[in-house]
């Protein structure tokens, strides 16, 4: 069965873990930009940074196409830097446009998340009572 046919059958009831995975994946762009807020990093460092700071475990292949696209959009720049012992690494940093975009994203994200949290309050309160 091809992916197209699967989609044509309409939305399938999604597993919660799959939903969470999609949610995380949807935030990859913002997360990648945010990891560079304090300075330049190379791909593997970005992956590690996201793991340690947000428990966002990405498949290693996910981040590179995203970085590539953010660069074509002018939000990131990159430079090859020779490591002391070893091979050159491609470092990414935010452009001014990237910084501005990230500021906008952070505002939009926070107001969205706050709204949703208010919406979910009754759900979580009830859970506390029953426990």
Partner 1 sequence: MTTEKQMDSYLATLRQHLAPLTLGEREEILREIAAHVRDSAEQSGATVEAVLARLGPAEELAGEYRDGLLISRASRSFSPIVLLRATLRLATKSVSGIVVFVLSVFGYSFGAGFVIVAFSKMIFPSHAGAWVQDGRLVDFGAFLYGTPAGAHEVLGVWIIPLGLIAGSLTLLLTTFLIRNSLRLSRLVQSRL
Interface residues toward partner 1, by CB under 8 A: 3-4, 7-8, 10, 21-23, 25-26, 28-29, 42-44, 59-62, 64-66, 68-69, 72-73, 80, 86-90
**What is the rounded CA–CA span in Å between residue 9 and residue 62?**
27
- The residue (of 72 and 130) whose beta carbon lies closer to partner 1 is 72
CB-wise, 40 or 43, nearer to partner 1? 43
d(CA 93, CA 34): 10
Q: Of 65, 95, 63, nearest to 78 (Cα)?
A: 95
Q: Nearest approach, Cβ of 42 to partner 1 (angstroms)?
A: 8
| CB atoms inside a 10 Å sphere around CB 78 | 16
Q: Which is nearer to partner 1, 81 or 121 (CB)?
A: 81
Any alpha helices (H) in the chain, and if so which ranges?
Answer: 3-8, 16-26, 28-35, 43-54, 60-72, 96-130
Taking the complex as a whole, the smallest distance from the CB of residue 102 to partner 1 amounts, in Å, to 14
| Residue (87 or 129) nearer to partner 1, CB | 87
Q: How far is the CB of 68 from partner 1 (least distance, A)?
A: 6
Shortest gap between Cβ of 92 and partner 1 (angstroms)? Answer: 10
């Amino acid at each position: 069965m091809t992916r197209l046919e699967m989609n044509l059958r309409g939305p399938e009831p999604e597993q919660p873990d799959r939903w969470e995975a999609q949610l995380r994946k949807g935030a990859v762009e913002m997360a990648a930009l945010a990891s560079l807020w304090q300075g330049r990093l190379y791909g593997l460092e970005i992956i590690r940074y996201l793991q340690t700071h947000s428990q966002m475990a990405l498949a290693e292949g996910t981040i590179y196409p995203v970085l590539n696209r953010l660069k074509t959009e002018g939000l990131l720049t990159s430079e090859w830097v020779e490591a002391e012992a070893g091979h050159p690494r491609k470092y990414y940093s935010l452009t001014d446009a990237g910084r501005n975009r990230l500021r906008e994203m952070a505002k939009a994200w926070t107001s969205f998340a706050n709204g949703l949290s208010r919406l979910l309050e009754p759900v979580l309160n009830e859970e506390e009572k029953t426990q």
